[in-house]
Amino acid sequence: MSQQVLLVMPLANPQGDDVEYLAEVGDLALGDLRMALNKLVTLNLVDARGGLNDRRFSIHSLTRTFLHEQIARWL
């Protein structure tokens, strides 16, 4: 699940998006998405900003570049 979420993260606004948006664009279940985001934040692949009720997530710029390169190879 973390890999799926990581592939969705380049679609997020660089200033971050909420879990509802990420769930919608990635067609992911909220519970699974939250667990995966927690793991990715712990691994420093995703940034979490804001308070408990207005948390927003974005991808690190280096991670974004790496993912774009990897996705380009898959295509």
pLDDT tens, 31-44? Answer: 999 999 999 999 98
Give the whole-number percent of the chain exceeding pLDDT 70: 99
Q: What is the CATH number of the domain that holds 44?
A: 1.10.10.10
- Which residue segment(s) compose the domain that 9 sits in? 2-74
Q: What value does the mean pLDDT take over residues 13-35? A: 95
Asked if the model's pLDDT at residue 72 lies above 80, the reply is no
Q: 51: pLDDT confidence band, cut at 50, 70 and 90?
A: confident
What pLDDT, on the 0 to 100 scale, is given for residue 35?
A: 96
For the CA atoms of 35, 37, 42, 47, the dihedral, rounded to the nearest 10 degrees, stands at -160
> What's the domain count of the chain?
1
